[in-house]
Structure 1
Amino acid sequence: MYNNQFSCYSYYNQSDFSLFNIRYSDTEQKFAGFSGVVTRIEDFYAIQDDASAGCYKLMALENIDMGQVNFVISPGTYFVDHQMIEVGDEITGFYDANAPAILIYPPQYPAIVIAKNSVYRNVTVDYFNNQLVSSDGNLKLNIAPSTKLILTNDQPFNRYPGKRNLIVVYGPTTKSIPAQTSPYKIIVLC
């Protein structure tokens, strides 16, 4: 007779903590986003270490149609326009859809990018190919002379942004397929 026992490990132990130190390279990555109202922000203790105390936050979002999601905010999470987020703000959190996730409710993901929602701008995070078309083929970027091209540390990016993971801040789009836009700002995830 076989004993069908499975060993279980704590998801956030120190050896698995590399999940929050995600490295972005020139490879295609699948991003997903969740929009909602921030209902709670609290400290998150990823490791029991005094040096990391207060450096990680747990941000709960509520969406009427899709329920609740928790985002783990790390020091590496990029906040678009470096805006402060408070309870009651409408935001969109982007995460790596291919990364492993713990099976709990509400779902909990390490946030890569957080953007405060606005009626005057759109934000998307995606892999853009050599022709600056998003991985789903729905958005094409046309770089204008006024488009700011920067890194996450606000330093200029002086190369062609194709074949990279990008944060794109843009306004109106055409009604073509794919929709086209001249972004206000492109932030390159290196």
Structure 2
Amino acid sequence: MSPSRKNNIVSPTTYFVDHTTMALGNMVTGFYDGNVPVPLIYPPQYNAIVMAEDMPYENVKVDYFDNQLVSSDNTLKLNIAPSTEIILENDQTFTQNPSNRYLIVIYGPTTRSIPAQTVPYKIIVMC
């Protein structure tokens, strides 16, 4: 999934990180499936799968993470700590291994390695 700062089309199935209510003027990032066709209009309009309000000192990544918890674009590796909250989209606790799934990851600082490594604050397992 790719982030977009274009026109994001929100549907009833769009997931809002932290169930935030968006308001006019909020700075947001929309994540969409880059493999889905987009109408050739200007400005481009993308069907948002996930929307996140831009917060200082907090990053959001939506991607498929493999069995080593490395993102599909090889830019982020997750190091899960006991303090990492792992939940489903409906806020239920997720007790299984989150690897080999699409995840919404909320995190702060990262290393400068390739891939960058982080201890996420929260992982939301997408259904």
Aligned equivalents of 2:13 and 2:93: distance in 1?
19
User: How many percent identity over aligned positions?
Assistant: 63
Partners in 2 of 1:108 and 1:117 — Cα distance? 19
- Which position in structure 2 is the counterpart of 1:104? 41
Match of 1:162 among 96, 99, 124: 99
Aligned-residue CA RMSD (Å): 0.8
Q: How big is each residue's C-alpha offset from its partner over 1:145-166, in whole Å with a ceiling of 9 and x where there is no partner? A: 0101101000111111111110
The residue aligned with 1:84 is: 21
Structure 2 distance, partners of 1:88, 1:130, is 39
Question: TM-score by structure 2 length?
Answer: 0.96
Over 6 Å off, 4+ runs: none
Paired letter, 1:80:
V
SS of 1:100's partner is coil
Q: For the residues of structure 2 that align with 1:108 and 1:132, how far apart are their CA atoms? A: 31
SS at match of 1:180: strand
1:189 CA displacement: 0.7
Identify which of 115, 120, 133 aligns with 2:70: 133
Shift of 1:103: 1.0
Q: Distance in 2 between matches of 1:107 and 1:140?
A: 31
Using the TM superposition, give the Cα deviation of residue 82 of structure 1 relative to its aligned residue in structure 2, in angstroms: 1.0
Tell me the residue number matched to 2:88.
Answer: 151
Deviation string, structure 1 residues 18-37 (Cα, Å, up to 9, x no partner): xxxxxxxxxxxxx01113xx
Structure with greater contact order relative to length (CA < 8 Å, sep ≥ 6):
2
Structure 2 unaligned residues grouped into runs of 5+: none
Residue type at the aligned position of 1:34: S
Taking structure 1 as the reference length, the TM-score comes to 0.65
Name the CA distance, whole Å, in 1 between partners of 2:121 and 2:24.
Answer: 27
Q: Residue type of the partner of 2:117?
A: Q
For residues 36 and 4 of structure 2, what CA distance do their matches in structure 1 show?
A: 15
Distance 1:74 1:113 in 2: 10
Q: Which amino acid aligns with 2:64?
A: Y
Flag the structure with higher helix content.
Answer: 1
- The structure with more radius of gyration: 1
Give the equivalent residue in structure 1 for 2:3: 33
Q: What do the CA deviations read for 1:122-147 (whole angstroms, capped 9, x no partner)?
A: 00101100000001111000000010
Structure 2 counterpart SS, 1:81: helix
Task: Provide the rounded CA distance (Å) in 2 between the counterparts of 1:135 and 1:171.
Answer: 19
